[in-house]
Amino acid sequence: MGISRRTFIVSSLLSTTQSWAGMRYPAILSCAKNGKDHLVVALNDDGRCEWTFLLPGRGHGLAVRDDMAIVVGRRPSDWALILDRASGELRSVIPPPDGMTFTGHVVCHHSLCFLGCQANQGSMGYILKIDHVGGVEAIFPSGGVEPHELVIDDKGIFVANGGRITDPDLPRVVLNPNTLVSNLSRVRIGDGKLQDVIPLPDNLSLRHLAVSRHGLAGACQWSGVPQQSPPLLWWLKGSRLMPLGPPDGVSAVSVNAYLGSVAWWGENIIATAPRGNQYWVINPSTNFARRFEQVDVCGVSVRKGRLWISSGEGMIGRPEALMDTRWTFDNHFVGA
């Protein structure tokens, strides 16, 4: 998986980074695929492309802060990139610490950004704290194994420690599917001190998080037989994780025991299930729950109070006004 910083910067400057006149910042950033190329795609509100950036491999998580965008490779990866948010030009390559790989997600807070990473042996989790040019300010434990998505509120950094042990030589093979221990942890932003660790049921991997004034929502993947899956969606109420049932007529079997992304839309939690070609709208306070169908839907974001979704079939936009594009969108996107 090795990638030379010099080689990648030179090749990137010669590749398909394109810019068009338009908004100061694009409305949407997403990792995507076009043919054999893996890209970051920047779109405006009507689906017009502002710029693209050719990636060294499949991308996954993104975050934006002020005039920069950060993209991380799909786990496990040995690269993260800082791009100019307006033009898509490469600013910096961020390598993982020695003996570690990145685990797919990044979150920004004021002038700092935080990336999940794991040890190559044993997959113990860490959080890398970087400045606006990619300089490492600190590294501290995540509170578990294989940290995936990270979110921030005034209580600290919440981490979905997925619990999957992998090996760099077999990067996508889970070595402990029947002994998986996952948790939700919270660490302090300033010094990285571990504040809380809340366990998930055995063999249930916490993957994705969303936080708002209504609380924290977590979406999971079950590693066992789908018929035996516990609830896949959880809500942090006080210091307890409360399970949320799916809409009527939906089972873990029908979504292959996997939720792809999660977001808050007002008081509602939106959870996508790409393997079930559906997404859910759930109000944890009123028990309202409804399913909506959309082929291979996974990405979800809220922009200016409006729900946006994306799919591996190239669709993106508001559910009532989806735009058909030429890109195969990856699991996540950010609404700038």
Q: 336, 64 in Cβ contact below 8 A?
A: yes
Residues 147-175, mean pLDDT to the nearest whole number: 94
Closest CA to 263 of 300, 227, 289, 296: 300
Taking the C-alpha atoms of residue 177 and residue 179, their distance in angstroms, rounded to an integer, is 6
**pLDDT given for residue 240 in this prediction:** 87
Residues 76-93, mean pLDDT to the nearest whole number: 96
Q: How do residues 25-61 score in pLDDT, each as one tens digit?
A: 999 999 999 999 999 999 998 889 999 999 999 999 9
Taking the C-alpha atoms of residue 10 and residue 68, their distance in angstroms, rounded to an integer, is 20
What SS3 class is residue 294?
coil
Taking the C-alpha atoms of residue 78 and residue 143, their distance in angstroms, rounded to an integer, is 21
Closest CA to 266 of 223, 302, 227: 302
The secondary structure element, H or E, covering residue 331 is: strand 328-335
Q: Which residues contact 11 (CB under 8 A, 6 or more apart)?
A: none
Closest CA to 298 of 249, 323, 263: 263
In this prediction, residue 336 has a pLDDT band, given cuts at 50, 70 and 90, of low
**pLDDT given for residue 180 in this prediction:** 96
Q: Tokens 């010669």: give the residue.
A: 14
Q: What is the DSSP string of 100-119?
A: EEEEEEEEEETTEEEEEEEE
Taking the C-alpha atoms of residue 265 and residue 158, their distance in angstroms, rounded to an integer, is 19
Looking at 80-200, which runs of residues are DSSP E strands? Answer: 80-84, 90-94, 100-109, 112-119, 124-130, 136-145, 147-153, 156-161, 183-187, 194-199
Q: Could you tell me the pTM of the whole model?
A: 0.91
- Please check the confidence at residue 111 and state whether its pLDDT lies above 60: yes
Q: How do residues 246-257 score in pLDDT, each as one tens digit?
A: 999 999 999 999
First to last CA, the chain: 30
Taking the C-alpha atoms of residue 84 and residue 100, their distance in angstroms, rounded to an integer, is 26
Reply yes or no: is the peptide bond before residue 201 cis, omega within 30 of 0. Answer: no
The secondary structure element, H or E, covering residue 12 is: helix 5-13
Taking the C-alpha atoms of residue 276 and residue 278, their distance in angstroms, rounded to an integer, is 5
In this prediction, residue 175 has a pLDDT band, given cuts at 50, 70 and 90, of very high
**pLDDT given for residue 22 in this prediction:** 43
Q: Which two tokens stand for residue 215?
A: 């609380």
Q: Which residues contact 140 (CB under 8 A, 6 or more apart)?
A: 126, 127, 129, 187, 191, 192, 193
Per-residue DSSP letter, 226: G
Contacts 24+ apart (CB under 8 A), 222-227: 222/252, 222/257, 222/258, 223/174, 223/177, 223/178, 223/180, 224/177, 224/178, 224/257, 226/251, 226/252, 226/253, 226/256, 226/257, 227/252, 227/253
Taking the C-alpha atoms of residue 310 and residue 300, their distance in angstroms, rounded to an integer, is 6
